[in-house]
Homo-oligomer: A and B are copies of this chain.
Amino acid sequence: MSRLLYLQSGGPTAVLNTSAQGVIETARAHGVAVCAAADGLAGLLAGRLLDCDALPAAAIARLGLLPGAAFGSSRQMLPPQAEAPQQWQQLAALLQRFDICQILLNGGNGSMETALLLQQLGEQFGLPLTVVGIPKTIDNDLEGTDFSPGFPSAAKYLASSLREVLLDMRSMAQGRVFILETMGRHVGWLAAAGSLAALPDEAPPLLLLPEVAYDEARLFAAVRCQIDAQGYCAIVVSEGLRSADGRFVAQMHADRVYGHEQLGGAGVWLAQRIQHGLQLHAHVAVADCLQRAARHLLSAVDARLAYQVGRMAVEWALAGQGGVMAGLQRIATPHGCDWQVVPQPLAAVANLERALPAAFIAADGLDVTPACRAYLQPLLLGEVALPFVAGLPDMQPLQFPPLPG
């Protein structure tokens, strides 16, 4: 009996396991056995496989409710054959041994390169192997898809949290500055989501995007303007904000303190610049992993499409349509928009990085355009109830046993 292999790769999202649920339930409906690599490609290369079929349907339905990567994930990528011929041979033998005929790789742009290599590996060794990529990243930087599952929920979490804080800010609006640091080393999609937080009667949060070099004079003028007009000012800063010379501002900060590189301090760095330059005290919140794990504040659109890309990837893999990623295409509907899942060649996606397009960045570099807001807004629609037990999210992890044999 042949098997379908599922892998999770890279940083988790709030809906990564929802895609896994879509994969497993669809394969089961087709009567196909499913296994998963423990800890993604790292586990696969070590021959560590888990048996997805050991758990009942109710457990798989619960899988979709869990943040994180239920099978474990890693950032390991497959090296090209020329660099690791023995690894390719061992992997081919493993796939043959477990009669694995489909591989579904759930990850970001680096993982799509690995998916492409796995497809080549199958051809190289004459295996009946079909490889399909399933998109996933809160960064939203994948090409070939209108959005990456995981991003809408992170965006909803950030915009909702910021909206709540804006009401807090109003309450004591005497020269208060609030800084929210988001993830996003190279692209500003997550920070852009902050633009949705403002209420109609207030100034939009100032956005500091990795796509726009930090311009302190311009920022300070805008902060002053908002403080004068409404008494408070919110700033959303990407962890990957850079100065005009291309260096991460957070890294400059670390250099100054300890003389070595460490990212993740753009918010604190900025608060200190503002304290010194404007004599304004700034509060700093750093969302870090909270924004990608916030299962309690999910976008229903995200959850639905995360499931769908998993489902369609299985359909295509079983039909022998490999070398593609399950991309999302936005289509207009009478009352807004919807998405259909369409195959995108892996080669057109792998290792590319989609930044915010110029048309989405406002002229002053501190906001996004109405076109960007129109893109973002439908992604946040709908809520998904999360079960709570004893006042806390019901999140008992699932334990999948090793694949026998």
Query: Residues on A close to B: CB < 8 A?
Result: 8, 11-12, 14, 39, 66-70, 72-75, 156, 159-161, 163-165, 167-174, 178, 196-197, 199, 201, 256-258, 262, 264-265, 267-268, 271-272, 275-276, 281, 283-290, 292-297, 299, 377-383, 388, 390-393, 395-397
Contacts and interface: CB of A to CB of B under 8 A. Distances in A.
Nearest to A256: B257
Contact of A171 (B69, B165, B272, B379): B69
A357 to B, nearest CB: 22
Q: Which 10 A-B pairs rank lowest in CB-CB distance, beginning with the nearest? A: A380-B391, A68-B167, A69-B171, A285-B288, A164-B293, A68-B171, A286-B286, A168-B293, A381-B391, A68-B168
Contact of A163 (B160, B169, B257, B395): B395
Contacts of A388: 383
Nearest to A258: B272
B69 A172 contact: yes
B172 A72 contact: yes
Contacts of A73: 171-172
B165 A290 contact: yes
B392 A197 contact: yes
Given A171-B12, A268-B265, A160 B68 contact: no
Given A172-B74, A391-B382, A284 B296 contact: no
A391 B286 contact: no
A67 B164 contact: yes
A216 B66 CA distance: 34
Nearest to A281: B262
A174 B76 CA distance: 12
A337 to B, nearest CB: 13
Contact of A286 (B14, B284, B377): B284
A232 B295 CA distance: 20
Max chain B CB contacts within 10 Å: which of A156, A163, A178, A271?
A163
Scoring A11, A171, A172 by chain B CB atoms within 10 A of each residue's CB, the highest score goes to: A171
A106 B297 CA distance: 30
Contacts of A172: 11-12, 39, 69, 72-75
B294 A199 contact: no
A171 B335 CA distance: 39
Nearest to A267: B286
A174 B292 CA distance: 18
Given A161-B290, A167-B67, A397-B167, A156 B284 contact: no
Given A68-B169, A72-B171, 18 more contacts: A66-B167, A68-B170, A70-B171, A74-B174, A75-B172, A161-B296, A163-B393, A165-B290, A170-B397, A201-B397, A256-B257, A262-B275, A264-B271, A283-B288, A284-B288, A285-B290, A296-B297, A383-B388
Nearest to A399: B201
9 contacts: A39-B172, A67-B167, A72-B173, A160-B296, A169-B289, A178-B288, A199-B395, A285-B288, A286-B288
A10 B272 CA distance: 24
Contacts of A265: 268
B289 A286 contact: no
A264 B290 contact: no
B289 A168 contact: yes
Contact of A165 (B69, B164, B289, B392): B289
A276 B258 contact: yes
Contacts of A171: 8, 12, 68-70, 72-73
Contact of A164 (B163, B268, B290): B290
